[in-house]
Amino acid sequence: MTQQSTVLVLGASRGLGFALAKEWLERGWRVIATVRTPSRELADLDVRFPGSLKIETVDIASAESVRALKSRLTGRQLNVLFINAGIARAIEQSPEVADESDFLDMMLVNAFSPVRAAELLGDLVPAGGTIAIMTSELGSIQNAKGAWQLYSSSKAALNMLMKGYASQHEEERHTLLLVAPGWVRTEMGGSDASLSVEESIPLVVDMVEANRGKPGLRYVDRFNASLPW
């Protein structure tokens, strides 16, 4: 019998992270899904997939919290580590009017913390495994048109930090993906977004699968097309 593959999804209480956990469970994977506070949706999934879902509590903005998760997972091997957690604040604002703490919170949660989580948890992923982080189409400096400029800046910073990570961890032979899921109707994306969760996430999972065993860093959309940095 082939061994069940395992994915850890950080930030899976709702929205795209929840959908990633659900999609991988439906594909027969073992899923470790993290929340900050209990999630009714995930608890329901636990009933649907007994034994395949493990729910953990983690705040990625806290190094201590991520380290505690690491120690609880000692001995586990992850085929995929997917860091999804993110926030959007002050989306219509520019630096002149925005609350500084909104920008700093986004830089902490969207840029610094995901890469720190990759550093802290990366050795649970064997060579040939994948570390994926949810960025955004808005993180592309080349394509930027000024929308959601503070949030976009945090995703551009995430992309830059992952460039650093990739060059420092080349010998680990991981597939490293910065994932742009499209504009999706979640609490963050809002009701005007162009895609449903079901139109985005299965393609994201297909794309992660298509990149399996291909080491190096790519900034890609759900169709597996490379995006300009």
Tell me if 37 contacts ligand NAP by CB under 6 A.
yes
Chain mean position to CA 93: 25
CB nearer to ligand NAP: pick between 91 and 173: 91
The answer to whether the CB of 39 falls within 8 A of the CB of 18 is yes
CB nearer to ligand NAP: pick between 91 and 98: 91
Residue of the chain from 15, 29, 32, 103 that contacts ligand NAP (CB under 6 A): 15
Contacts (CB under 6 A) with ligand NAP, residues 113-152: 134, 136
Site string for ligand NAP, 47-76 (x = CB under 6 A): -----------xxxx---------------
Closest CA to 36 of 12, 59, 64: 59
CB nearer to ligand NAP: pick between 62 and 94: 62
Which span (6-14, 46-54, 93-101, 142-150) binds ligand NAP, by CB under 6 A? 6-14
Contacts of 146 (CB under 8 A, 6+ apart): none
Tell me if 5 contacts ligand NAP by CB under 6 A.
no
Q: Tell me if residue 11 falls in helix, strand or coil.
A: coil
Ordered strands of the 6-10 beta sheet:
53-57, 30-35, 6-10, 80-83, 130-134, 175-180, 216-221
Please, is 225 exposed, middle or buried when counting C-beta atoms within 10 Å of its C-beta (0-12, 13-18, 19+)? exposed
Rounded CA-CA distance 118/88 in Å is: 21
Site string for ligand NAP, 74-93 (x = CB under 6 A): ----------xxxx------
Shortest distance in whole angstroms from residue 169 CB to ligand NAP:
21
Shortest distance in whole angstroms from residue 38 CB to ligand NAP:
10
The number of residues that bind ligand NAP (CB under 6 A) is 28
Site string for ligand NAP, 168-207 (x = CB under 6 A): -------------x-xx-xxxx---x--------------
Tell me if 6 contacts ligand NAP by CB under 6 A.
no
Amino acid type, 34: T
Q: How far apart are the first and last CA of the chain?
A: 42
Using the structure block, give the residue that is written with the tokens 């991988």: 24
Tell me if 109 contacts ligand NAP by CB under 6 A.
yes
Please, is 61 exposed, middle or buried when counting C-beta atoms within 10 Å of its C-beta (0-12, 13-18, 19+)? middle
Give me the residues that bind ligand NAP (CB under 6 A), please. 11, 13-17, 35-37, 58-61, 84-87, 109, 134, 136, 181, 183-184, 186-189, 193
